[in-house]
Amino acid sequence: MRRKSFAKMHCPVARSLDRVGEWWSMLILRDAFAGMTRFDAFQKSLGIAPNILSRRLDALVAAGLLVRRRYATRPVRHEYVLTERGRDFRPVLLSLQTFGNRHFAPEGASVILVDAATGVAADPVLIDRVTGAPITVTSHRNVPGPAAGPALKRRLAAAKPPAEPPTALPSKPRRGKPAATGARR
pLDDT at 170 (0 to 100): 55
| DSSP codes, the chain | -PPPP-TTSS-HHHHHHHHH-SHHHHHHHHHHHTT--BHHHHHHHHT--HHHHHHHHHHHHHTTSEEEEEEEETTEEEEEEE-HHHHTTHHHHHHHHHHHHHHS-TT--SS--B-TTT-PBP----B-TTT-PBP-TTT------TT--HHHHHHHHH--PPPPPPS-PPP-PPTTSPPP-S---
Strand partners for 38: 79
Query: Looking at the domain assignment, is residue 163 inside a domain?
Result: no
Query: Looking at the domain assignment, is residue 62 inside a domain?
Result: yes
Query: Looking at the domain assignment, is residue 47 inside a domain?
Result: yes
Mean pLDDT computed over every residue of the chain: 85
Is pTM beyond 0.75 here? Answer: yes
Q: Is the pLDDT of residue 70 over 90?
A: yes
Query: Looking at the domain assignment, is residue 183 inside a domain?
Result: no
Categorize the per-residue pLDDT at 75 as very low, low, confident or very high, splitting at 50, 70 and 90. Answer: very high
Q: Which domain holds residue 68?
A: 12-87
What integer is the mean pLDDT of 60-83? 95
62: CATH: 1.10.10.10
pLDDT at 177 (0 to 100): 45
Strand partners for 160: none
Number of structural domains (the chain) is: 1
Query: Looking at the domain assignment, is residue 161 inside a domain?
Result: no
Query: Looking at the domain assignment, is residue 26 inside a domain?
Result: yes
Query: Looking at the domain assignment, is residue 113 inside a domain?
Result: no
pLDDT more than 70, % of the chain: 83
Query: Looking at the domain assignment, is residue 92 inside a domain?
Result: no
